[in-house]
Amino acid sequence: MSAQMEEWHFPAGYDQSYLPDPSSPYWFPHRETMDPEERNAAVLVRLREVMEYAYATSPFYRRKWDAEDLKPADITSFEAFEQVPVIQKEEMRAAQHEHPPFGDYLCVDESEIHHIHGTSGTTGMPTAFALGRRDWEVIADNHARILWGMGVRPGDTVFVAALFSLYLGSWGAMAGAERLRCRVLPFGAGAQGMTARAVTWLARTKPKAFYATPSYALRLAEVAAQEKIDPKDFGLEVMFFSGEPGASVPAVRDAIADAFGARVVDCGTMAEMTPFMSASATDRTPDGMLLWQDIVWHEVCDPTTFRTVPFGSEGTPVYTHLERTSQPMIRLASNDLTRWVMEDNPCGRTYPKLPDGVYGRIDDMIHIRGENVYPTEVDNFLRGVADYGGEHQIVVRRTGSMDEMIVRAECTLPSGQRDDFERRTGSGLQSLLGVRVTFESVDAHTLERAEHKSRRVVDEREHTKR
Ligand code: 8LE
């Protein structure tokens, strides 16, 4: 069966000159539309292969699996695979501390390393990501294939408006666009005055495709408005996003689509999981994200047992590389939250889907007086409120023995005329969230905008780890 699957082998390597027939909606028609059971059977064989490779080349995996008396050869069913212990980020940090700088799960010779990326390190010890030269080519191929699915074609200009730094998002988007023979405009983000310059460049170059974080796209639309330029005049057709929830949050998605007059596509797993675009929507299945299971094996699991939950249920994504040889991740726990389904996709791809995208991190969910509040719910609600100024902040603090939630939102009305706005918004939030909310309005354009990923929650309670 795997013989029919285009270029299906491990270690992976793709014909760098291949491009699909221009009339084909698919890069690899068979791999993308095959019977999912058949695909799963091929994936199961591959999972064993990847595990054998990792066991042979990495003390990290040997240690981890020997402790459970687990051998790659035992993986003869998905049930057996679900018992492979997950990896948490702390374990990678510890392995890198013991074996600097890449940890003892590198799996390739250091001479094979092509790029080094990493976490920003704002919330702990930074983690280094080493990507092999061969892997980089495979990543580019996979991302090109997914971009094709979004409707991007050779010759299109792709504007990358995300940090070119340790962050992998921008580089991964660029690698895919280059492999697709696009014209890449690696604009970047984050420097002083850069957003206004991005507006000028977008207006002049009129790219077809655009990549950023969702909050940065909204920021860009605001700056364009200040410069008296209509973002629709950029002529963008497809805007793809990763890095944070947003492109699948209905009101955020609509706000971006309306401002730019473009299709909004959500994608993204984790930097460690690059090719991180393996969860991605397509032009004809535009909502949520499809799980391209022959690139990365995505499971949605119970967050305590790490067994998969049935389709239709909520859980946390757990990811396994099928094509990486440098730092392959085998059951990496994301600690994010999502829901998955298996249904007929309009684009004809036979992949499972996250219909609401990834809607938050377990850690970011606010537990307050017995209720769970997702910050994305607040974002979604506020974007639908008339006179909302476009940015907000959620502060959770303990006053006496009570937890208190304060939502501070911008309002476009002058300060003397906000009573109605405050009443509407405050009571709307309260009934949506089911907890008492102290609502405050502030002037528009006074809260900080994200140049990268937004951080809107300030949890001042001591016991809460953030
Ligand atoms: C909802 C995927 C990438 C390279 O853009 C990225 O941001 O990787 P990074 O910095 O390792 O952060 C991964 C985390 O960002 C995920 O665990 C998730 O919490 C969030 N994230 C990334 N893409 C999305 C997302 N959350 N929707 C997304 N599309």
- Per DSSP, the three-state class of 231 is helix
Token representation of residue 213: 């974080």
* pLDDT tens digit sequence for 90-107: 999 999 999 999 999 999
CATH 2.60.40.10 fits 1-360, yes or no: no
The class (CATH top level) of 365-459 is alpha beta
CA of 74 to the centre of ligand 1 (A): 32
How many DSSP H helices and E strands does the chain contain?
Answer: 12, 21
Beta-carbon contacts of residue 91 (< 8 Å; ≥ 6 apart): 60, 64
User: Closest Cα to residue 138, out of 6, 274, 42?
Assistant: 274
The pLDDT assigned to 298 comes to 99
Beta-carbon contacts of residue 349 (< 8 Å; ≥ 6 apart): 26, 32, 33, 149, 282, 285, 290, 292
User: Closest Cα to residue 158, out of 124, 182, 126, 193?
Assistant: 182
For the chain, give every domain's residue range. Answer: 1-360, 365-459
Q: Output phi, psi for 48, to 5 deg.
A: -65, -40
Determine if ligand 1 sits within 6 Å of the CB of residue 338. Answer: no
CA of 242 to the centre of ligand 1 (A): 6
Determine if ligand 1 sits within 6 Å of the CB of residue 242. Answer: yes
CA of 267 to the centre of ligand 1 (A): 9
**Which of ligand 1's atoms lies nearest the C-alpha of 364?**
19
CB 406 within 8 A of CB 441: no
**Euclidean distance between CA atoms 170 and 161, whole angstroms:** 7
Q: How many CA atoms lie within 13 A of 405 on its CB side?
A: 25
The per-residue pLDDT string of the chain (466 residues; one tens digit each, 9 = 90 and over) reads 455 899 999 999 999 999 999 999 999 999 999 999 999 999 999 999 999 999 999 999 999 999 999 999 999 999 999 999 999 999 999 999 999 999 999 999 999 999 999 997 766 789 999 999 999 999 999 999 999 999 999 999 999 999 999 999 999 999 999 999 999 999 999 999 999 999 999 999 999 999 999 999 999 999 999 999 999 999 999 999 999 999 999 999 999 999 999 999 999 999 999 999 999 999 999 999 999 999 999 999 999 999 999 999 999 999 999 999 999 999 999 999 999 999 999 999 999 999 999 999 998 899 888 889 999 999 999 999 999 999 999 999 988 888 899 999 999 999 999 999 999 999 999 999 999 999 999 999 999 999 899 999 998 885 544 4
The pLDDT assigned to 463 comes to 56
∠ CA 35-36-39, nearest 5°, is 95
CB 265 within 8 A of CB 286: yes
Conformation bin of residue 193: beta by default, left when phi > 0, alpha when psi is -120 to 50: left
Determine if ligand 1 sits within 6 Å of the CB of residue 169. Answer: yes
